[in-house]
Amino acid sequence: MNARRDKRATTIDIYKAWCKACGICAAFCPAGVLARDEAGYPYVKSPEKCISCGWCELRCPDFAITVHKKDKGFKDIDEEGEKEKLQGTPPPG
């Protein structure tokens, strides 16, 4: 049940190798989705609150964060991937 809901949610990817822990993304997030760990690196604390505004991606000076919006067809791509996986899976039993 939760997995189905997660597929439809916006996904936030943080590429830590490029992140300098400046905190801009967390500071600009209007929905409190992002938080920072002890070292200052951002992480997705409350993904269900994301409103897909894209501000974190726009404001990141190092292109270290990407927003995969639920209304941009990612759901369909994901479902195609699921279909391919299922086709390669032997029937149960």
The amino acid present at 39, given as its one-letter code, is A
> Left (φ > 0), alpha (ψ -120 to 50) or beta: where does 48 sit?
alpha
Contact residue for ligand SF4 among 19, 66, 70, 74 (CB under 6 A): 19
Q: CA nearest 74: which of 12, 1, 2?
A: 12
At a CB cut-off of 8 Å and minimum separation 6, what does 87 contact? none
Based on CB atoms, which residue is closest to ligand SF4, 40 or 81? 40
| 62 interacts with ligand SF4 by CB under 6 A | yes
Judged by beta carbon, residue 20 or residue 83, the one nearer ligand SF4 is: 20
Chain residues in the site for ligand SF4 (CB under 6 A): 12, 14, 19-25, 29, 31, 33-34, 42, 50-56, 60, 62, 64-65, 67
